Amino acid sequence: MQTTNSYSLEKDIESVLISEQQIREMTDRLAADISKAYQSTIEEGRKLVLLTILKGSVLFSAELVKKITIPAELEFMKVSSYGAGTKTSGEIRIHLDLLRDDLPNLDILVIEDIVDSGRTLFRLTQMLRNRGAHSVKTVTMLDKPSRREVQFVPDFCGFQIPDKFVVGYGLDYNEEYRTLPFVGVLKPEIYAPKQTP
């Protein structure tokens, strides 16, 4: 039987785009690729830092990091980009920063839930490189390439998706739906209610 909470969230979902099972399989694949790609980090005496970007990436990150088979440290940042609607890459606002004094010894893998315009990761990766990290790469659960406004390609990607309004598995609409265990398409009447004449 469904709980009231689950029912009240799921009734707003038009369709399931990516199921919990698909997310499990996708994180198996990504974790294997990542573990292989960062073998040299450990062999060469550096540290792998898995940098989760709050809040949307938390569910994806939790599923992914436990499957990575090489030693790694966990860090968190909260950032947002602004400057949308312009031709520039915009700026980034840091709400919670990464405070490390050993950046030259770190290979940082930024973990994101979604790449949309690309502004957030474009600016964040540039900033971490400028601060002196040994390397900065990115993994995203979802990528919407059709929405790109700056040139940015994630190093590891779970699924490329069409330009649909998706929520769940960390993704929100007005802070709701993050706790759904799948990625679903939100019914249009939720985010674009019909105007009454």
Residues near ligand PRP, by CB under 6 A: 53-56, 80-81, 112-120, 172
Q: What is the largest CA-CA distance in the chain?
A: 67
Min dist CB 140 to ligand PRP, Å, is 9
183/104 Cα distance (integer angstroms): 36
- Which of these is catalytic: 107, 113, 116, 143? 116
Q: How many CB atoms lie within 10 A of CB 111?
A: 25
Min dist CB 32 to ligand PRP, Å, is 24
* Beta sheet of 166-167, edge-to-edge order: 13-18, 183-186, 166-167
- Whether residue 78 contacts residue 55, with contact meaning beta carbons closer than 8 Å, is answered with yes
Known catalytic residue: 107? no
Nearer to ligand PRP, 69 or 80 (CB): 80
Min dist CB 192 to ligand PRP, Å, is 18
Q: Which two tokens stand for residue 50?
A: 């898995």
Nearer to ligand PRP, 80 or 160 (CB): 80
Residues marked as catalytic: 116
